């Protein structure tokens, strides 16, 4: 790791800045030493293990380094304080903490470095790798020796780079100490090399070295320029520069003055001003300037300068004599140029490099002290008048590193933060750094970013790998069109109740034809096989046609839906075209990820079109909401069947005509199909159709429930629901007096309530109701008589319930469905008009006193679609926006929609998101393709696996941090499948116990610390949990082997260690849960939050009781959810033991109520969780039959989100060129591992040899006691499963399959079955179609690749598949063509936590593992706020 001395043994002194005395002699490295260090780093990169390790392995070593740092904190912090003259307390609380947090943050990111999988034009397949850049040279400054070292070193190590570090000559001691700790942590030699010395020699040699691939430098702009020149003159290496700054702190008149003074003092004098982001230019608005200056002088005189080892001291000495003299020279320059020295300005102390904190007032922009970076305790105070002047002066600098804003005004904060050209902007704070927050400069403050996942990019490079599939897809032209004939229905003009036209009334028969056409277009047509860019070009043409026909489309929508023509022409129709363009531009950016996996395996994912999508569209925005679903579905490559609302069908049909109009290069037949008709017939037929893969519905909660039930009862298709809302608009006392009447519940603070009511009435009376073709009209008719009468009935309810009718309340006009704008005041929360969605022009005004009351009232609704906040107070706006349970929060605006801004609901307002790239995800599914890079050797373990059974202690329910008996007092037996004897009696929970557990989880989520912790805090606790699992692996492995009949060697070596590693994977992801910042049109600023979904119910199977528990539990906890776990009744002991471990953790452990475990039976405890109104999410792994029941229960209750990982009948396809011995071994693993089953398709050329060897292999397979280390297969889980497998074997014999070996029970007791192989199996046999879940192999013969694909896809399941071949084209073609969520190539059962896992078709939806697994427990909230007078718009 670098030599201890230098090539010619020169040394230099490192100086104590307190006294000027020498601390130590340090080896002075130069070019020769750099050459040796780079040579070592190059060797370690080119030939060593570090870049070849899996990310998780690198992460583990980095975590060890962080632990060693914690153990040596006193030594490290003393060295930094001594070397850099920094207060010891500051070093401990800031510098050291920042460094160790950086190591842990990037250790957790090391296994989350993904490439992308690209769908390219023609027959090309492509993927990218993000690979370590190579040898990185890190040149570190002296002001923060620890945090700035690890700001570069941690991401470089996580990326897989090797490094040469050149610390500042003033502060070399800790870098050398860290190298020593890295050696102790096990980081391989040559990975970290430290060369101490001077910039002009060692630094210059490093930056110009021809074998260094990357330079990262933090320091002055002058030296940064030299480094960049050296990089350019040598090998054009990549450079990241974090350079100087002259950062403004802008303080507005409305600021809290005391807070502003504290911020200003800290911004300049913290760390002696030796910080590149120091707020050295303090711009103060003229209204508070004098008072601010007076208070600042007082506070500055309290700032203590002295020995940094004195805990009372605030400021130590400057770093060295040179910097000391430089700062004093700047102070003299300030005096000469006419600035007013207010305080300080002198050196202090008898020795050392101490300078008084210094303030200049009356500073002008052109003075040297206002322009140049001083890097010392000198503040320049400047006065401004307007926001425009402040922005202009803040930007009047060559630097752009940081800025601060102090104001209570949200609009000012947003506008200034968007307008100031700097890399980090602090609002009402300063120096607020976090490992997750990217940091870096604009202009001459450098480029590249430190911190956050952006920092990883500095040390990675992208490699693209295109492959030619040689026309692997069958391009079959399938042009299918049809016309609806027979029944018709009237579409009504809501202005007059007259018939506009008669529309074909489609029903189930028509839906069948449309789905058949869509399925043929998807399975055989060109649309999903086109490159994304080709699809995008066609969608752009479609958008152009919409623009060309805007008048016709707008007239139709106004006529059909009663919407004002001015609105449909200016918004609805242009927005549909723009929506198409947005997704057209995304069609060629649908990327999977490339995964670096352990054990010599290669993995990548595809994001593929989900298939045939059914889109059921409402009548309120017939065009816009059609294209909000249609555009992403088409961009994804899906084919669609659209069912528009019966009240507003004309536009959908006209758009279908436009799609057809497109010439030869148009959207192919069968891709877009429109069925007009009624919801109960055509809509129901789409929702329940077995060949529709996805439903997207926008409409009422009642109908949404029916659609979800239909999806559950049919093929368990994925569903996205955007349902009802009762959206609050919360208006605070400081709001602008102009009235905004939006949101059906207006909550108005009492201070402005009366004025708001008065102005609302006036506005309502100005609101013109009438013919929507009249340009002066604001409001047209309701959509139809049913809706018209429903709204009037709600108005009558409001009157009867005691609300005060202020204006409106009646129908108007002689014909048509017109209703006056209606306002109720004095509305109470329990009134029907305050609770139900009215969907008409009725405003309910409610009064509140405090922010807390407003939040409580706003959230007191079963809906959570949208909300608005009106206030000028930044803290209020942010607090309310974070606290409201709604999918979109508008701040000082309403109904602002942009295509990049995801939209959707919380609670019973649905799930899934439309718009934005999230909208595209609805129509994509993830497939994992995994291949073996090299055959890994197997190591045998001859150690005897003795049973070490202790007393089984944990048999009660675990609720709110305590083990408790079931409310009923009932227990049930858990059975040993080896002997059928009772292991223990377990508490039998039921609905009453589930209620208590959910109540505890809800309280922990709504009021407890878990979801409110930072991600890094949750991550640290999950790491501790993982350590406890490792420490108890023997006990946990024994319990699982005993209860589930699994091999002890397997549970101890794989299952239990995997649960700990799974926890670590998601612990490392907990602080990387990011929303997005959206640049929107119309001078709006938008951002998203990804928030925990709430209380999650996890229903776990018995085949992998620990591993599949943590596949859900780990991401749920990382996301911030609280959970109620229902383990399988056959295998409950491990879940209870893990609950005990969670409880074991000391005071800093997982809080009570976060994890609850209810043991019991599926029909009672499981059903109670699935149907519970206060559970927000269900994660279930198990059978398709039970999955359907769970989905129905979720639907009938609160429409909770569901992730299902269900059954499979997975094919293993073996081609002629396969290595037969390897193929036989893979088949054995695929079928008999964990007593499972699968079907196997064999190319006829090797069929006979494979069969012969498979039979021999099966006869060698040892069935017996799973505690015996020589055994390969234990018993089935219970008698029911045992008898079910034997029944399938009898079916196989009766149906004519050839039984080659096995087929019987074995042993005198227990549930043991011989490994069984059938040959000559046909596709229509029951053993070929059904999931057996036992040791039964079905062998089938095929001739061609096309036949193999067809046979593999001839299943209602689509969980996994395997391909065995040496031919790359065959492997890629089959992998792309198989409809399964995971495809293994030349391997099987290879898993990694970074690889998403889940099914297609009836194998479920949603994904476990990888970052996709985290998404299951998060929901997106969009927050939109306006910008005023920003130069960016």
Neighbouring C-alpha atoms within 13 Å toward the C-beta of 177: 19
Q: Are 1098 and 1063 in contact (CB under 8 A)?
A: no
Which residues 6+ apart lie within 8 Å of 550 measured at CB?
569, 573, 574, 577
Q: Rounded CA gap, 420 and 247, in Å?
A: 10
3-state secondary structure (DSSP) of residue 519: helix
Report how far apart, in Å, the C-alpha atoms of 971 and of each of 956, 990, 1159 are.
Answer: 9, 11, 9
Token representation of residue 19: 């006294």
Number of H helices, E strands in the chain: 47, 68
Catalytic residue check, 812? no
Q: Rounded CA gap, 408 and 417, in Å?
A: 13
Question: Which residue pairs from 785-788 have beta carbons closer than 8 angstroms and sit at least 24 positions apart in sequence?
Answer: 785/497, 785/817, 787/817, 787/839, 787/840, 788/817, 788/819
Question: Which residue pairs from 1259-1263 have beta carbons closer than 8 angstroms and sit at least 24 positions apart in sequence?
Answer: 1259/1301, 1261/1228, 1261/1232, 1261/1315, 1263/1306, 1263/1307, 1263/1312, 1263/1313, 1263/1314, 1263/1315
Q: Are 163 and 135 in contact (CB under 8 A)?
A: yes
Report how far apart, in Å, the C-alpha atoms of 239 and of each of 195, 218, 251, 401, 610 are.
Answer: 19, 11, 35, 17, 42
Token representation of residue 960: 């709110």
| Phi and psi torsions of 1300, nearest 5° | -90, -35
Which residues 6+ apart lie within 8 Å of 856 measured at CB?
none
Catalytic residue, candidates 152, 161, 276, 893? 276
Q: Rounded CA gap, 873 and 407, in Å?
A: 9
Q: Rounded CA gap, 313 and 307, in Å?
A: 7
Q: What angle do CA 557, 559, 564 make, to 5 degrees?
A: 70
Q: Terminus-to-terminus CA distance in the chain, angstroms?
A: 52
Q: What is the DSSP letter of 1160?
A: B
CA neighbor of 467 nearest in space, from 124, 843, 802: 124
DSSP calls for 766-787: H--BS-TTSTT-SB---SSHHH
Catalytic residue, candidates 116, 131, 242, 608? 242
Catalytic residue check, 1400? no
Q: What is the DSSP letter of 963?
A: E
Q: Tokens 């039921």, residue? A: 990
Instruction: Please report the sign of the dihedral spanned by the C-alpha atoms of residue 44, residue 49, residue 54, residue 55.
Output: negative
Q: Rounded CA gap, 1088 and 454, in Å?
A: 18
Report how far apart, in Å, the C-alpha atoms of 1111 and of each of 57, 1059, 1114, 1191 are.
Answer: 20, 8, 6, 20
Q: Rounded CA gap, 1043 and 1307, in Å?
A: 18
Q: Rounded CA gap, 1190 and 1203, in Å?
A: 10
Instruction: Please report the sign of the dihedral spanned by the C-alpha atoms of residue 619, residue 625, residue 626, residue 629.
Output: negative
Beta strands at 1237-1243 and 639-643: parallel, antiparallel or unpaired: unpaired
Q: Are 208 and 113 in contact (CB under 8 A)?
A: no
Q: Are 721 and 699 in contact (CB under 8 A)?
A: no
Q: Which residues are catalytic?
A: 242, 276
């Amino acid at each position: 790791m670098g030599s201890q001395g230098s090539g010619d043994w020169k040394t230099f002194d490192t100086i104590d800045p307190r006294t000027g005395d020498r601390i130590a002699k340090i080896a002075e490295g130069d070019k020769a030493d750099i050459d040796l260090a780079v040579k070592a780093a190059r060797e370690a990169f080119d030939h060593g293990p570090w870049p070849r390790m899996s990310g998780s392995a690198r992460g583990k070593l980095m975590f060890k380094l962080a632990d060693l740092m914690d153990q040596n904190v006193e030594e490290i912090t003393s060295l930094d304080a001594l070397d850099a003259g920094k207060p010891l307390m500051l070093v401990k609380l800031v510098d050291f903490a920042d460094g160790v947090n950086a190591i842990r943050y990037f250790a957790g990111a090391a296994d989350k470095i993904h490439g992308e999988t690209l769908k390219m034009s023609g027959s090309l397949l492509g993927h990218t790798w993000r690979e370590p850049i190579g040898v990185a040279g890190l040149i570190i400054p002296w002001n923060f020796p620890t945090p700035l070292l690890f700001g570069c070193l941690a991401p470089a190590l996580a990326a897989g780079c090797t490094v040469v570090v050149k610390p500042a000559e003033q502060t070399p001691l800790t870098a050398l100490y860290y190298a020593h700790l890295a050696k102790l942590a096990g980081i391989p030699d040559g990975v970290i090399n430290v060369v101490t010395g001077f910039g002009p020699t060692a630094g210059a040699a490093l930056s110009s070295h021809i074998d260094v691939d990357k330079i990262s430098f933090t320091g002055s702009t002058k030296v940064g320029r030299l480094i960049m020149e050296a990089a350019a003159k040598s090998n054009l290496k990549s450079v990241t520069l974090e350079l100087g700054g002259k950062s403004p702190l802008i303080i507005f008149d409305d600021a809290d003055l005391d807070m502003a003074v504290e911020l200003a003092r800290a911004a300049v004098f913290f760390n002696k001003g030796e910080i590149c982001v120091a707020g050295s230019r303090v711009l103060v608005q003229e209204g508070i300037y004098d008072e601010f200056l007076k208070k600042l002088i007082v506070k500055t005189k309290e700032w203590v300068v002295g020995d940094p080892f004195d805990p009372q001291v605030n400021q130590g000495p400057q770093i060295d004599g040179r910097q000391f003299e430089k700062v004093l020279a700047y102070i003299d320059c300030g005096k000469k140029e006419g600035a007013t020295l207010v305080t300080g300005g002198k050196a202090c102390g008898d020795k050392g490099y101490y300078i008084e904190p210094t303030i200049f007032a009356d500073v002008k922009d052109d003075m040297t002290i206002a322009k140049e970076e001083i890097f010392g305790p000198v503040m320049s105070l400047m006065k401004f008048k307007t926001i425009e002047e402040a922005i202009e002066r803040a930007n009047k600098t060559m630097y752009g590193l940081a800025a601060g804003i102090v104001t209570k005004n949200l609009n000012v904060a947003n506008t200034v933060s968007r307008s100031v050209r700097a890399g980090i902007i602090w609002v009402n704070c300063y120096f607020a750094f976090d490992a997750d927050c990217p940091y870096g400069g604009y202009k001459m403050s450098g480029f590249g970013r430190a911190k956050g996942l952006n920092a990883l990019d500095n040390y990675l490079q992208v490699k693209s790998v295109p492959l030619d599939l040689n026309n692997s897809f069958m391009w079959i032209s399938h042009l299918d069109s049809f016309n609806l004939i027979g029944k018709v229905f009237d579409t009504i003009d809501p202005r007059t109740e007259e018939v506009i036209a008669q529309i074909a009334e489609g029903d189930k028969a028509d839906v069948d034809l449309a789905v058949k056409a869509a399925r043929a277009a998807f399975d055989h047509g060109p649309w999903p096989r086109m490159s994304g860019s080709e699809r995008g070009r066609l969608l752009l043409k479609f958008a152009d046609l919409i623009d060309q026909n805007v008048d016709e489309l707008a007239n139709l929508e106004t006529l059909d839906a009663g919407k004002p023509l001015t609105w449909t022409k200016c918004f609805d129709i242009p927005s549909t075209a723009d929506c198409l363009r947005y997704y057209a531009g995304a069609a060629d950016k649908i990327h999977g990820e490339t995964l670096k996996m352990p054990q010599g395996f290669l993995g990548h994912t595809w994001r593929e079109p989900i298939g045939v999508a059914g889109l059921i569209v409402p009548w309120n925005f017939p065009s816009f909401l059609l294209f909000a679903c249609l555009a992403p579905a088409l961009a994804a490559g899906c084919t669609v069947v659209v069912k528009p609302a019966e009240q507003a069908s004309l536009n959908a049909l006209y758009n279908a005509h436009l799609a057809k109009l497109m010439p030869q290069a148009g959207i192919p037949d069968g891709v877009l199909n429109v069925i007009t008709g009624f919801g109960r017939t055509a809509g129901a037929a789409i929702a329940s159709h077995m060949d529709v893969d996805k439903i997207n519905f926008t409409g009422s909660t009642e109908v949404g429930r029916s659609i979800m039930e239909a999806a559950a009862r049919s093929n368990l298709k994925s569903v996205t629901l955007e349902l009802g809302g009762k959206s609050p608009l919360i208006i605070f006392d400081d709001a602008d007096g102009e009235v905004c009447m939006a949101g059906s519940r207006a909550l108005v603070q009492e201070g402005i309530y009366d004025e708001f009511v008065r102005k609302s009435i006036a506005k309502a009376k100005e609101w013109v109701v009438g013919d929507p073709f009249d340009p002066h009209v604001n409001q047209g008719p309701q959509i139809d008589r049913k809706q018209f009468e429903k709204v009037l009935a709600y108005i009558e309810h409001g009157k009867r319930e005691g609300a005060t009718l202020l204006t409106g309340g009646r129908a108007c006009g002689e014909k048509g469905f017109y209703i006056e704008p209606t306002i109720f005041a004095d509305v109470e929360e329990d009134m029907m008009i305050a609770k139900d969605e009215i969907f008409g022009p009725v405003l309910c005004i409610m009064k509140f006193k405090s922010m807390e009351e407003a939040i409580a009232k706003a959230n007191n609704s079963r809906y959570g679609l949208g909300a608005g906040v009106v206030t000028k107070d930044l803290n209020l706006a942010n607090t309310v926006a974070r606290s409201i349970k709604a999918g979109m929060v508008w701040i000082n605006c309403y109904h602002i929609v942009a295509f990049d801004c995801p939209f959707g609901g919380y609670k019973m307002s649905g799930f899934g998101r439309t718009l934005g790239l999230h909208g595209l995800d609805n129509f994509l599914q993830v497939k994992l393709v995994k291949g073996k890079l090299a055959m890994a050797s197997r190591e045998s373990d001859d150690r005897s696996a003795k049973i070490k059974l202790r007393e089984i202690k944990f048999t009660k329910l675990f609720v709110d941090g305590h083990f408790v008996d079931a409310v009923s007092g009932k227990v049930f037996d858990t059975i040993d499948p080896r002997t059928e004897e009772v292991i223990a009696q377990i508490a039998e929970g039921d609905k009453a116990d589930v209620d208590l557990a959910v109540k505890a989880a809800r309280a922990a989520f709504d009021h407890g610390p878990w979801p409110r912790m930072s991600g890094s805090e949750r991550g640290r606790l999950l790491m501790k949990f993982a350590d406890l699992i490792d420490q108890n692996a023997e006990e946990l492995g024994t319990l699982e082997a005993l209860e589930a009949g699994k091999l002890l060697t397997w549970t101890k070596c794989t299952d239990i260690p995997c649960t700990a590693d799974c926890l670590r994977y998601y612990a490392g992801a907990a602080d990387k849960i990011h929303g997005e910042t959206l640049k929107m049109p119309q001078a709006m600023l938008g951002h998203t939050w990804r928030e925990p979904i709430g209380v999650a119910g996890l229903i776990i199977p018995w085949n992998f009781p620990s591993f599949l528990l943590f596949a859900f539990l780990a991401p749920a906890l990382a996301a911030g959810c609280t959970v109620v776990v229902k383990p399988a009744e056959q295998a409950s002991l491990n879940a209870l033991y893990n609950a005990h471990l969670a409880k074991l953790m000391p005071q800093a452990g997982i809080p009570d109520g976060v994890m609850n475990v209810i043991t019991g039976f599926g029909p009672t405890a499981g059903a109670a969780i699935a149907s519970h109104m206060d559970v927000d999410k269900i994660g279930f792994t198990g059978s398709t039959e039970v999955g359907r029941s769970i989905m129905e229960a979720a639907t009938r209750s609160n429409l909770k989100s569901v992730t299902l990982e269900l059954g499979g009948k997975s094919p293993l396809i073996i081609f002629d060129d396969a290595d037969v011995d390897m193929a036989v071994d893979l088949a054995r693993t695929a079928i008999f591992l964990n007593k499972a089953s699968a079907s196997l398709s064999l190319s006829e050329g090797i069929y006979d040899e494979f069969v012969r060897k498979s039979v021999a292999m099966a006869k060698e397979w040892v069935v017996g006691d799973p505690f015996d280390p020589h055994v390969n297969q234990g018993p089935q889980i219970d008698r029911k499963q045992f008898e079910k497998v034997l029944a399938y074997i009898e079916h196989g014999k009766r149906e004519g399959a050839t039984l080659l070996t096995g087929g019987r029970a074995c042993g005198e007791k227990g549930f043991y079955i011989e490994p069984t192989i059938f040959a000559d199996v046909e596709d229509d046999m029951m053993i070929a179609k059904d999931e057996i879940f036992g040791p039964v192999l079905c062998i089938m013969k095929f001739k061609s690749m096309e036949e193999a694909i067809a046979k593999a896809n001839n299943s209602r399941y689509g969980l996994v598949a395997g391909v065995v071949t040496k031919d790359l084209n065959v492997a890629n073609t089959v992998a792309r063509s198989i409809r399964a969520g995971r495809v293994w190539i030349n391997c099987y059962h290879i898993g990694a936590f970074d690889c998403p896992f889940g099914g297609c078709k009836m194998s479920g939806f949603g994904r476990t593992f990888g970052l996709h697994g985290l998404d299951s427990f998060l929901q997106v909230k969009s927050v939109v706020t306006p910008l005023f007078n920003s130069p960016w718009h």
